[in-house]
Amino acid sequence: MSSDAAPAADEVRRQAARRRTFAIISHPDAGKTTLTEKFLLYGGALTAGAGSVKAKRDRRATASDWMELERRRGISVTSAVVQFGYRDRVLNLLDTPGHGDFSEDTYRVLAAVDAAVMVLDGAKGIEAQTRKLFEVCRNREIPIVTFINKWDRPARDPLELLDEIEDQLVLDPVPVTWPVGDGDRFSGVIDRRAGHFVRFGRTAGGAAAADEEIVAAARAEAEEGSTWGEAREAIELLDGAGAELDAKRFEAGELSPVFFGSALTNFGVRLLLDAIVDMAPAPAARGDADGDPRPLDSGFSASVFKVQSNMDPAHRDRMAFLRVCSGRFERGMTITCGRTGKTLATKYAHTVVGRDRSTAEDAWPGDVIGLVNAADLRVGDAVHAAGEPVRWTPVPAFAPSSFRLARCTDTSKAKQFRSGVRQLDSEGVVQVLRRPEGGESAPILAAVGPLQFDVAEHRLRHEFGAPVELAPAPWTTARRTDEASAAALRAMSGVTVAARDDGDLLALFESPYWLARLQSDHPDLTLHRLIGEG
Ligand code: G4P
């Protein structure tokens, strides 16, 4: 090893330790966008009044044909990555689409983070999408910090909300802060660790960080009146029940520290950010396909967790998002894709803040870089700078529950259709399944939610010039099978076997009853559940 290798390794470890890479999971409308804005405000990345993320989102919605679909649907289907500094740390917040139909995309983003913030609406508690996203986090053992939002409005009994988290998610909620009052009477939180009261002051339009005053318990009792007494009573109950923080259980995803606040008025945002910095884990060595952890300070390597087309309508380009797993990325370095062995130039690497790009000069474990026009990269790929190729454990595909039979309606556009379908497959817009009899011209498109088909149809037509018909298909349930069982299944009625490009074989069933019957008649068939199946 050369004499300057050691300081470089130290620097990689030091930079990794400064990073926190996380996502926010929530039901639509719980306040994810607002909280993201406030994080940027506290990180100093948003100077003028908050609202830029949202404004950007609205602007973005009219920026291209592709975005037109978002606008018509009134939802956000693209993800963004924001990086901001807070205290002496670097925080990477990977945004996840809020819409239920896009949980496949969300799922991949969650494979690239080290922690998640679960935002609940204090008046609603756990909602359908919260539960689904939480399951994905549980599956990947991602530590979760809970933020109970909108406490400036009338909210449910906080003890009841904790019970709900415990019962419905089987997650141990441990309040770190406790609200004093709710709605108009929400004046601050008790910090259970310090025992003092943090009183919040409003700022006009929530455009600046909330004023915070630390008040000793005795004075708070005198000044806050009955709401203080109620909060203290609840805390005594929690203390009696032994609701204590345990770092190991948090990191294993079994226990969640809980914070109360209001993203709109900035109440509790600082305490939440402090918790992310102080409690959430820094990037750690990632396991490769053989299960061996690849040390953070080994040569540069990264994993592709998202591929997105047309982020910039002026260029009609394609961007691959990579999370750095080890080593230092330097712009201009040549990197190699482990799967294809092909090299890629990184002159045009970007960091991405919303849709605004800035050129990335270097990046460290936990950071996200965007590579423009890295046409051969697919979701799940590993890239590395030098030495032996790297392969990561594959991120399992999500269970599709909707299926369509795709067909190009203009035979002179068959080539465009085939390349369009391959492109959508590699981006993970839809899953593409092929049967021997259907081949490239009649693939099956599979999705978690039907909205993915609208995106696929729109893009095939407008981007690739291939008019398509997506006919309803009879299947509702898929199971992963193997070659031996596939041969047996092909001879049976009521089941179709199709292959994914990644080599997985899926058995498709028209009803769960038929699947259950086949399983009971032929217990030795391999029929594995897929991730995300209820
Ligand atoms: P999302 O990204 O999770 O879908 O939620 P988003 O932040 O867009 O928030 C949804 C609505 O809830 C917004 O209102 C937002 O202002 C409001 N909201 C978010 N956090 C709080 C909070 O702490 N307290 C209160 N009272 N409201 C909150 P909107 O009317 O839909 O949009 P806007 O016109 O206010 O932007």
Whether residue 189 is found in the same domain as residue 266:
yes
Return the CATH number at 250.
Answer: 3.40.50.300
Pocket test for ligand 1, best of 264, 266, 272 (most atoms within 8 A of CB): 264
Amino acid at 20: R
Round to whole Å and give the CA distance between 91 and 93: 6
CA of 38 to the centre of ligand 1 (A): 12
Q: Which residue's CA is the nearest one to ligand 1's atom 17?
A: 31
Q: In the structure, which protein residues have their CB atom closer than 6 angstroms to any atom of ligand 1?
A: 26, 28-34, 54, 98, 149-150, 152-153, 262-264
Give the pair of three-digit tokens for residue 48: 């003028």
Least Cα distance to 317 among 270, 382, 377, 372 occurs for 372
Residue 60 contacts by C-beta under 8 Å, 6 or more apart in sequence? 67, 70, 78, 354, 355
H-type alpha helices, 328-439: 414-427
Cα 182 to averaged position of ligand 1 atoms, centre (Å): 17
Please indicate, yes or no, if residue 473 is contained in any of the structural domains.
yes
Summarised one tens digit per residue, pLDDT across range 185-225 is 999 999 999 999 999 998 877 778 888 999 999 999 999 99
Do 156 and 117 lie in one domain? The reply is yes
Q: Does 259 lie in the same domain as 299?
A: no
Co-location of 36 and 159 in the same domain: yes
Task: Say whether both 321 and 216 belong to one domain.
Answer: no
Asked if residue 234 and residue 87 are part of one domain, the reply reads: yes
Please report whether residue 232 resides in a domain.
Answer: yes
The answer to the question of residue 476 being in a domain is yes
Q: Based on the fold, state whether residues 264 and 193 are members of the same structural domain.
A: yes
Roughly how many angstroms between the first and final C-alpha of the chain, as a whole number? 51
Q: How far is CA 59 from the centre of its chain?
A: 23
Instruction: Determine which of 71-80, 248-257, 284-293, 444-453 has the lowest per-residue pLDDT on average.
Output: 71-80
**420 in the same domain as 315:** no
pLDDT of residue 65: 39
Q: Is residue 527 part of a domain?
A: no
**Alpha-carbon span 105 to 109, nearest angstrom:** 6
Are residues 68 and 198 both part of a single domain? yes
Q: HSE, CB side, 13 Å, CA atoms: give it for residue 21.
A: 24
Token pair of 314, please? 């002026």
Residue 497 maps to which CATH number?
A: 3.30.70.3280
Q: How many Å is the maximal CA-CA distance in the chain?
A: 81
* Residue at 7 is within a domain: no
Of 279, 302, 321, the position where a domain reaches its end is 279
Whether 74 maps to a domain, the answer reads yes
Residue 446 lies in a domain: yes
Question: What integer pLDDT is reported at residue 310 of this predicted model?
Answer: 61
271 and 355 together in one domain: no
What spacing in Å lies between the alpha carbon of 161 and ligand 1's midpoint? 20
Residues 223 and 263 occupy one common structural domain: yes
Task: Point out the least confidently predicted range of 49-53, 131-135, 363-367, 509-513.
Answer: 49-53
Structural domain ending residue among the three candidates 220, 245, 279: 279
Contact at 8 Å (CB) between 360 and 331? yes
**Spacing, Cα 148 to ligand 1 middle (Å):** 13
* Exposure of 505 in the CB half-sphere (CA atoms within 13 A): 18
> Who wins on pLDDT, 332 or 152?
152
**Residue 446: φ, ψ to 5°:** -125, 145
Q: Could you tell me which of 20, 192, 248 has the C-alpha nearest to residue 116?
A: 20
The answer to which of 100-104, 205-209, 413-417, 429-433 has the lowest mean pLDDT is: 100-104
Strands 255-260 and 144-149: parallel
pLDDT digits (tens, 9 = 90+) for 40-85: 889 876 544 334 444 444 433 333 334 444 444 433 434 457 888 9
In this structure, the residue with its CA closest to atom 9 of ligand 1 is 31
Which of 384, 417, 452 delimits the end of a domain? 384
Looking at the structure, do residues 301 and 354 belong to the same domain, yes or no?
yes
Distance in angstroms (rounded) separating the CA atoms of residues 42 and 270: 7
Strands 329-330 and 349-353: unpaired
CA–CA separation, 210 vs 202, rounded Å?
Answer: 6
Range of the domain at 331: 286-384
CA neighbor of 527 nearest in space, from 510, 513, 507 = 507
Those residues with Cβ within 8 angstroms of residue 191's Cβ, 6 or more apart along the chain or in another chain: 176, 177, 197, 198, 271
Write down the pLDDT at residue 106. 77
Q: Is residue 51 part of a domain?
A: yes
Tally of domains in the chain = 3
Provide the 8-state DSSP code for 484. H
CB-based burial label for 487 (10 Å; 0-12, 13-18, 19+): exposed
Mean pLDDT of 422-428: 85
